[in-house]
Amino acid sequence: MKKKLGVQFRKSRKTTHAFERLKYCKHCESYTVLEHEECDVCGRKNSFLSLRQLSHILSRRHFQKQLLILGLLICLAILSADTLWQLAAASVGGVVSLLLYALLQKKYSIYEKTNHFMRLISKEHDKIKSGLTRNLVEVNEDVEAERFKDAYEKIREVGCLFHSDAVKVCKIMLLNRFVLRKDMELELETLIPSTYDRDFIEYLGEVLKVQPWLLKKSVIDYVIRYKGNIFLEENGTRVIGQVAGAALRMKSYVVMYQDFISESLEYIPRERLLRLAKLLKANPDENWGSLREAASSLIETRYSFDPDFKGVL
Amino acid sequence: MLTYYILAVILLVLAARYVVLLLHKRKNLSEAEVDQHLLTLLNDERESYEKKAGRPVQEKPENHTRL
């Protein structure tokens, strides 16, 4: 059994959108998601822009280009005036068109900016992908050099944009190297692989001990889907019991996953079974199906002499 | 006379700009949609890339049992 490391992760930046994590180097036009002060391609310091800033710069350039064309046309109109009337028409027309242009810009620029942003993403996604792949190479180097904490912190950033199984498997592999604690910034739902993964089950068992609130519907669905495989694992029944026990935290999960909880009752820890019994007693009108009978039967068999269970069900 | 033609072109340019901006407004894209678009572009193609290139992480054999 490999020795686990006690680590303190650097706090991950909270962003509303994933694209806010991307940084663009003004000098070499490369992208990265890692928190380096200097660009890992050209080595320049303080040369980064956010994607939003880049999009605004490009939108502003587009606006200035159009304004320049309009200005040139107005100048041409004025210069080509033969008579005073034409000169007056060109001048007034020019001023009015500039005012109209400014008004349109003020009213609709926000929609145009978002549209430009979308086009920028479409145009640059290959470069962004190359940047993220380069970041993954760095993660690889950290793993090979056994700098597991650094590797995890980096792949955590990359994983906000790349959601592939390979990235998830790598994250799980790294997380299984650490001693997990309640105060750590851990993840679970974002790590669910598309197929059965033994390391994910190992991680699931460990993370639910310290942060049971991370259990969500998608995780329970995964466990139910691969229940057969999980039972074959060394700690399979313990993990099933932990998942079923953690699901009891929310009444909606108990209602939704009655069958699963009913089948997993014998593996649920005592405290969680007590919680279930109290929940079933507090909600007699709910349609619990066979769950109530199964819980009663188990309590009768195992905990008939336990004072905490007296009169609960 | 050329002045009036150029003024007409300016008017056409403004009208075209207005139409384009109206179309942008009708689309009414949000940053969330832009974000989702980026994630779709990165991940839909990423899966096929990985199938060609293999797993991105290589560990020393003695440190890892399975990849």
Whether residue A125 and residue B35 make contact (CB cut-off 8 A), yes or no, is no
For strands A23-25 and A31-32, give the pairing.
Answer: antiparallel
Query: For residue A25, is it within any domain?
Result: yes
Query: Which pLDDT belongs to residue A306?
Result: 86
Whether residue B47 and residue A140 make contact (CB cut-off 8 A), yes or no, is no
* Domain match, A26 and A139 both: yes
Report whether pLDDT(B60) > 60. Answer: no
* Domain match, A198 and A137 both: no
More confident residue, B47 or A199: A199
* Domain match, A31 and A131 both: yes
Query: Which pLDDT belongs to residue B58?
Result: 43
Report whether pLDDT(A190) > 90. Answer: yes
Q: State how far the Cα of A38 lies from the Cα of A50, in Å rounded to an integer.
A: 14
- Does residue A112 sit at the B interface (CB-CB below 8 Å)? yes
Query: For residue A128, is it within any domain?
Result: yes
**Total domains in the fold of chain A:** 2
User: Which residue in chain B is spatially nearest to A161 when comparing CA positions?
Assistant: B39
Q: How confident is the model at residue A57 (pLDDT cuts 50, 70, 90)?
A: very high
Query: Which pLDDT belongs to residue B1?
Result: 80
Six token digits for residue B48: 């096929």
Query: Which pLDDT belongs to residue A2?
Result: 67
Give the other-Cβ count within 10 Å of A8's Cβ: 9
Query: For residue A276, is it within any domain?
Result: yes
Mean of per-residue pLDDT scores for chain A: 92
A180: left (phi over 0), alpha (psi -120 to 50) or beta: beta
Q: Find the mean pLDDT for residues A111-136.
A: 92
Query: Which pLDDT belongs to residue A13?
Result: 86
Sheet containing strand A48-50, edge to edge, reads A31-32, A23-25, A48-50
* Domain match, A206 and A305 both: yes
Is A177 within 8 Å of A147 (Cβ atoms)? no
Query: Which pLDDT belongs to residue A66?
Result: 92
Query: Which pLDDT belongs to residue B59?
Result: 43
Q: Find the mean pLDDT for residues B19-46.
A: 88
Is A47 within 8 Å of A25 (Cβ atoms)? yes
Query: For residue A162, is it within any domain?
Result: no
Last-in-domain residue among A102, A122, A144 = A144
Q: Find the mean pLDDT for residues A66-83.
A: 92
From the list B3, B14, B38, the residue facing A81 with the nearest CB is B3
Whether residue A80 and residue B6 make contact (CB cut-off 8 A), yes or no, is yes
**Residues of B (23-52) whose Cβ lies below 8 Å from A:** 24-25, 27-35, 37-39, 41-43, 45-47, 49-50
Query: For residue A112, is it within any domain?
Result: yes
Query: Which pLDDT belongs to residue B63?
Result: 40
Q: State how far the Cα of B5 lies from the Cα of A123, in Å rounded to an integer.
A: 37
Query: Which pLDDT belongs to residue A313?
Result: 66
Please write down the HEC assignment for all residues of chain B.
CHHHHHHHHHHHHHHHHHHHHHHHHHHCCCHHHHHHHHHHHHHHHHHHHHHHHCCCCCCCHHHCCCC
For strands A48-50 and A31-32, give the pairing.
Answer: unpaired
Which residue segment(s) compose the domain that A115 sits in?
20-144
Last-in-domain residue among A114, A144, A174 = A144
Query: For residue A114, is it within any domain?
Result: yes
Query: For residue A24, is it within any domain?
Result: yes
Compute CA distances A59 → A54, A67, A131, B21, whole Å: 9, 12, 23, 13
Q: State how far the Cα of A21 lies from the Cα of A297, in Å rounded to an integer.
A: 53
Query: For residue A166, is it within any domain?
Result: no
Query: Which pLDDT belongs to residue B67?
Result: 26
More confident residue, A285 or A193: A193
Q: How confident is the model at residue A222 (pLDDT cuts 50, 70, 90)?
A: very high
* Domain match, A50 and A111 both: yes
Report whether pLDDT(A63) > 80. Answer: yes
Last-in-domain residue among A123, A144, A165 = A144
